[in-house]
Structure 1
Amino acid sequence: MTQCSGAAQHPIPPAVQEAYGPADLGAMPLFGGGFINFGYWQGIDLDQPLTEQDRISSQEAMYRHVLSSLAPVEGLRAVEVGSGLGAGAAVALAEYGFAHVTGMDIHPQQLKRAERANSVLLARRPKRLCFARGAAEDMPFGDGEFDCLYSVEAAQHFRDIGAFARETARVLRPGGRAVVAGFFVPGADPARAGRLAELLETFATGLDVAHTIPSLVTSLEQAGLTGVRVTSIGASVWPGWDRWLATMWEPGTWPRNFLRAFEEGTLDYFTVTAQRPTA
């Protein structure tokens, strides 16, 4: 493995081990192009039959939306928490001018796939990209090692959102910026976690955790990060995601309930930005 820092061994939750190991979620037709996210569908005509290229474009657009919130980033060092197959890290390097991107993932099989998928890029730019094994709650990096931290649709797998927030603050340099994109419970109502388990199999099996936006914001602030800003982007995610799901899943099947959960107010998709103070 091409390592930027020492690998940290950390227990992998069984459902995560299965989904990103033998099951290889990234190989499913639901995804494409090496990405594993629900997509940012703004600008894609949902009234027309969707193509695989539309699907790939939606996932690239998610990364562009997230990375643009960190700008300017020219010449900076970044870490992606939950980097999966490394497709997002490749976009970050190709389009945003980072000096270096570290892709960190908890799953060793995903890291091997990422290295295979990015073998040409790793060979051409060995000083600009590498992958490391680590958990969001226990990152194998030094204090203040990065200028930027971003995470795209991985936080639902984190078991301890408070530990993730503390690690984010630790690995960012003073003035460093972070952005987290993913699906969260909008409010603090504890009943919503149970409702998600009723609607969505991934919450029932424990693959996904029903973290709330208030808990994430509080955790980031308690870790010492400032300027925490929450933006809902659900209107650009859920209708398109459901439209794509409709090409493979019938109405009433559990994956179609993501849109239902959004319409009920039980789940939404957010970007959350924060900064480590300079002093």
Structure 2
Amino acid sequence: MRPVVQETYGPADLSGQRSFAGGFINFGYWRAVDLDLPLTEAERIRSQEDLYRHVLDAAGPPRDATVLEVGCGLGMGCAVTLREYGPASVTGMDIHPEQLRRARSTHAGLLREEPARLRFVQGAAESMPLDDGAFDVVVSVEAAQHFPDLDAFATEASRVLRPGGRVAVASFFTVDDAPGRPDELARLLDSYATGLDIARPVRALADAFAKAGFTGVRVESVGPHVWPGWDLWLSRWWEPGTWPRNFLRAYEQRILDYYLVTADRPGRNAGTADGPADA
């Protein structure tokens, strides 16, 4: 585990910061939230749950499916999946032992009630301690910006998926691989300057999936439903020009965007989507 990740999700406990309400750690999908009205914590939590809903819907109907979340954090998305989608089981995997301790504590009741349907395991995206072909669906929500090796993640996602399974990843990436993008982001955003977030084009993830044998790779920009709401929420505490507000600036300058990337593992019951990646 990289030291900056260990600190951010361990002692610093990003999930406890007021901008990440309800224990989720994501920027939110604000499409169903009226941004012209005052935002409350309820709308903030709705945005974070809606990001999971958007990803799970794109992953295909998870009902009766075995679902893996890579980078599960406190497991709030695992709880949404169990509560609303009727999967056979959900496995939350995270690299950070402290996050898993918090997840097990937060969901102690659910773990007692659903011992066969919910579990949390420690593991890295690039080396998953999970059986081959164990899952119908692999999702990852706002974690891939931390993964050191996207090729290894894609290979592992393919390995743990059954034939016909699908992977769906939501995260933020640079819009292209133009020279200087990492330096631009490091000047704008502390999370890139410290190395917490890694500057890579979305094409790198799409190509990694294709290289790992996935088909029907699709790239969808969801930035219009992420960045304005996130920035408006941050305005409660941060003035314009402060670094957290620069996420919107990086988006408006066409440096950074938020994407949903989906792909199918070939085999029986594979999705009907087909064709080259579209970034």
Bin of the TM-score, shorter chain as denominator length:
over 0.9
Pairs within 5 Å for 1:56-135? 56-135=45-124
Gaps of 5+ in 2: 269-279
Return the alpha-carbon distance in structure 2 between the equivalents of residues 169 and 125 of structure 1: 27
SS at match of 2:127: coil
**Residue of structure 1 equivalent to 2:135:** 146
TM norm structure 2: 0.95
Indicate which of 195, 208, 229 corresponds to 1:206: 195
SS at match of 2:54: helix
Residue 42 of structure 1 deviates from its aligned partner by 0.6
Residue 71 of structure 1 deviates from its aligned partner by 2.3
TM norm structure 1: 0.95
Q: What is the one-letter code of the residue matched to 2:30?
A: W
Cα distance change on mapping 1:176 and 1:29 into 2, 3 Å? same
SS at match of 2:45: helix
1:113-143 deviation line (CA, Å, top 9, x unaligned): 0000000100000000000000000000111
Note if 1:180 corresponds to 2:169: yes
RMSD: 0.8
Q: What is the one-letter code of the residue matched to 1:197?
A: A
Return the alpha-carbon distance in structure 1 between the equivalents of residues 16 and 211 of structure 2: 38
Alpha-carbon contact 2:60-2:166 (below 8 Å) kept: no
Return the alpha-carbon distance in structure 2 between the equivalents of residues 186 and 16 of structure 1: 24
Q: What is the one-letter code of the residue matched to 1:75?
A: D
**Residue of structure 1 equivalent to 2:13:** 24
Return the alpha-carbon distance in structure 1 between the equivalents of residues 28 and 265 of structure 2: 28
Gaps of 5+ in 1: 1-11
Note if 1:262 corresponds to 2:248: no
Indicate which of 157, 167, 192 corresponds to 1:168: 157
Q: What is the one-letter code of the residue matched to 2:38?
A: P
Indicate which of 238, 242, 246 corresponds to 1:249: 238
Return the alpha-carbon distance in structure 2 between the equivalents of residues 121 and 152 of structure 1: 21
Q: What is the one-letter code of the residue matched to 2:160?
A: V
Identical pairs, percent: 59
1:156-197 deviation line (CA, Å, top 9, x unaligned): 110011110111111101101010000011112131111011
1:71-108 deviation line (CA, Å, top 9, x unaligned): 22211101000000000000001101110000000000
Return the alpha-carbon distance in structure 2 between the equivalents of residues 29 and 51 of structure 1: 12
Note if 1:222 corresponds to 2:211: yes
Return the alpha-carbon distance in structure 2 between the equivalents of residues 277 and 43 of structure 1: 34
Return the alpha-carbon distance in structure 2 between the equivalents of residues 110 and 263 of structure 1: 33
SS at match of 2:60: coil
Structure 1, 184-193 or 126-135: larger mean CA deviation: 184-193
Return the alpha-carbon distance in structure 2 between the equivalents of residues 91 and 112 of structure 1: 19
Return the alpha-carbon distance in structure 2 between the equivalents of residues 151 and 26 of structure 1: 17
Residue 147 of structure 1 deviates from its aligned partner by 0.6
1:41-97 deviation line (CA, Å, top 9, x unaligned): 012111222111111111011111111112222111010000000000000011011
Note if 1:274 corresponds to 2:263: yes
Q: What is the one-letter code of the residue matched to 2:264?
A: Q
Return the alpha-carbon distance in structure 2 between the equivalents of residues 138 and 256 of structure 1: 34
Return the alpha-carbon distance in structure 2 between the equivalents of residues 254 and 227 of structure 1: 37
SS at match of 2:197: coil
Q: What is the one-letter code of the residue matched to 1:80?
A: E
Return the alpha-carbon distance in structure 2 between the equivalents of residues 247 and 34 of structure 1: 18
